[in-house]
Amino acid sequence: MAGLPASVRSGRAVTHFGARIGCLALAVLAATVISVSIGASGVGPGDLWHALRGHADPSARTIVLQLRLPRAALAALVGGALALSGCTFQALLRNPLAEPYVLGISGGAAVGAVVVVVTGLGVFLPWALPLSALAGAMAAMALVMAIARRASPGGLDTRVLILSGVIAGAFFNAVILLLLSLADVESFRSAIFWMMGNLSAAAWGPNALLAALLVPAAAAVLSLARPFNLLSRGEEVAYYLGASVPRVKLTAYLAASLMVAAAVAAAGVIGFVGLIVPHAVRLAWGNDHRLLLPASFLAGSAFLLLADTLARIVVSPVELPTGVVTAVFGVPFFVVLLMRGGRR
């Protein structure tokens, strides 16, 4: 392989990339079919095909097209966004333990959501909770960026960025605890349930808004695959090889943070997806971000689709928070990944 011309090696790499991305795309499709076909309502796989063709009875068609399909689409979007943003933060911070919530964005979103729950605004304005959570996440982005810029005027220092996120996250957690201490029992329960992550509020309208935020942000991140490969060798090396390091850092931070903000606003705080999925893809296929970034998105989509399906059926008819399922299965899976990686 090493003795082959560069063009041949490049062509084989592209072929391998395409095959792996194709396999992951099929996995997402299979996970979507499983998610839409399985549930507590008695609508099974056979009803899915009939509902899509318009031949199912009205109740089955409503369940499939207005409940399960929007929820599956939301799971795919949120899972992909969290995994891709986690991969981006790991590349940006050059830390394999970085995850989407490391910079306090989830804390800002949680403050916005808890304010709506405690004040009861969600009863009168159905869109108040996701919009307030998105506004809180965007405010957290601005706060962390402002602190990092002020503390490192010579450029965006990633170490200062992490510290800024930790500080902001601690502040937001204190605000959340203050709000919860003033809430009544029902509001307290609703706020905690939201913070555990849940996809039950899925609908086509909010999904379209989420996709409108995620698509340009994901495209911006995917365009940074080559600069990320250079940045993994060190900032000075990346600079001398032609990467605009400050621009790459700023674009990566803003795009990844926007994806996290939109995902948290739509589904609450769902952990471990952005940590373990990029790790699994990296251990399986290496550190080339040309493959790692799109593969993380697709693997994250498939992972959250299956996790949400389990959340709906494992103790049916009670529905578990999706974030609980990702944590329960994510912790042992991550331990296995670490043990396998340590033996290599």
User: Residue 56: its pLDDT value, please?
Assistant: 65
pLDDT digits (tens, 9 = 90+) for 194-236: 888 989 888 898 899 999 999 999 999 999 999 999 988 888 8
User: Residue 299: its pLDDT value, please?
Assistant: 96
**Which are the contacts of 143, defined by CB distance < 8 A and separation ≥ 6?**
104, 108, 168
User: Residue 240: its pLDDT value, please?
Assistant: 84
Distance, in Å, from the CA atom of 139 to the CA atom of 171, rounded to the nearest integer, reads 13
pTM value is 0.89
User: Residue 236: its pLDDT value, please?
Assistant: 83
User: Residue 49: its pLDDT value, please?
Assistant: 67
Length of the chain: 344
Q: Are 193 and 267 in contact (CB under 8 A)?
A: no
Distance, in Å, from the CA atom of 83 to the CA atom of 219, rounded to the nearest integer, reads 14
Distance, in Å, from the CA atom of 66 to the CA atom of 7, rounded to the nearest integer, reads 49
Distance, in Å, from the CA atom of 225 to the CA atom of 289, rounded to the nearest integer, reads 5
DSSP conformational letter for 269: -
Q: Is residue 55 exposed (0-12), middle (13-18) or buried (19+ Cβ within 10 Å)?
A: exposed
| Cis amide leading into 317 (omega within 30) | yes
Q: Are 195 and 110 in contact (CB under 8 A)?
A: yes
Q: Are 232 and 288 in contact (CB under 8 A)?
A: no
User: Residue 106: its pLDDT value, please?
Assistant: 87
User: Residue 245: its pLDDT value, please?
Assistant: 85
| Number of C-beta neighbours around residue 240 at 10 A | 11
Average pLDDT, the chain: 85
User: Residue 190: its pLDDT value, please?
Assistant: 87
pLDDT tens digits, the chain, 344 residues: what are they? 444 444 444 556 667 788 899 999 999 999 998 998 887 666 666 667 667 766 667 777 778 888 889 999 999 999 999 999 999 999 988 887 788 888 888 889 999 989 998 888 876 777 888 889 999 999 998 998 888 888 877 667 778 888 888 899 999 999 999 999 988 888 888 888 888 898 988 889 889 999 999 999 999 999 999 999 998 888 888 888 888 888 998 899 999 999 999 999 899 999 889 988 998 899 888 889 999 999 999 999 999 999 999 998 888 778 889 999 998 887 887 777 677 655 55
Among 314, 271, 295, 242, which Cα is nearest to 99's?
Answer: 271
Q: Please tell me whether residue 320 adopts helix, strand or coil conformation.
A: coil
User: Residue 4: its pLDDT value, please?
Assistant: 45
Q: Show the DSSP H helices in the chain as ranges.
A: 6-37, 45-53, 58-62, 69-93, 105-119, 121-124, 128-151, 158-181, 185-195, 204-222, 225-231, 235-240, 245-267, 273-285, 289-313, 322-343
Q: Is residue 343 exposed (0-12), middle (13-18) or buried (19+ Cβ within 10 Å)?
A: exposed
User: Residue 128: its pLDDT value, please?
Assistant: 85
Radius of gyration of the chain (CA): 21
